[in-house]
């Protein structure tokens, strides 16, 4: 069983390693949509995997490190692709969120990354 909570943040970035002339080399911003999914059993008497409020308490301080920042300035995000952002978020969240199952990050309405952790096949 899985539960998820959606978050969002605004941030600017540019991708320094794309070919010359690529639009993502220019400074621009996104309204990132983030979905954090945790998995586990939901045994009685609570019948839940975890408290949504506790999930929010873990994720919000990490979001605060990204919201309204220039992502390239953040250690580990020198090349802030959605893929790298998902890995960075996983590194930050997994120590205090052992039930973490997946991180889904959308940078536009139609483009996003789904990451299921460093040990997953995909």
Residue 10: strand pairing partners: 31
Question: Quick check: is 113 catalytic?
Answer: no
108's CB contacts (< 8 A; 6+ apart) are: 30
For residue 66, what is the enclosing H or E element? Answer: none
Catalytic position from the list 86, 87, 104, 107: 107
Phi-psi region of 40 (alpha: psi -120 to 50; beta: other; left: phi over 0): left
Catalytic position from the list 8, 10, 24, 78: 24
8 in a known ligand binding site: no
Catalytic position from the list 8, 10, 22, 68: 68
Contact yes or no for 11/29 (Cβ under 8 A): yes
Give 57's DSSP letter: H
Question: Quick check: is 8 catalytic?
Answer: no
Question: Quick check: is 109 catalytic?
Answer: no
Q: Which residues are annotated as a binding site?
A: 13, 28, 30
Q: Which residues are annotated as a binding site for Zn(2+)?
A: 13, 28, 30
Task: Catalogue the active-site residues.
Answer: 24, 68, 107
């Amino acid at each position: 069983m899985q539960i998820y909570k959606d978050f969002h943040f605004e941030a600017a970035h540019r991708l320094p390693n794309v070919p010359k002339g690529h639009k993502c080399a220019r400074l621009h911003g996104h309204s990132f949509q983030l979905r954090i999914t945790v998995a586990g059993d939901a045994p009685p008497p609570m019948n839940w995997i975890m408290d949504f409020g506790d999930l929010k308490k873990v994720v919000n301080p990490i979001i605060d490190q990204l919201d309204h920042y220039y992502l390239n300035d953040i250690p580990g995000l020198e090349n802030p692709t959605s893929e790298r952002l998902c890995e960075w978020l996983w590194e930050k969240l997994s120590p205090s969120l052992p039930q973490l199952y997946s991180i889904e990050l959308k940078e536009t309405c139609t483009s996003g990354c789904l990451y299921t952790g460093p040990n997953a096949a995909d």
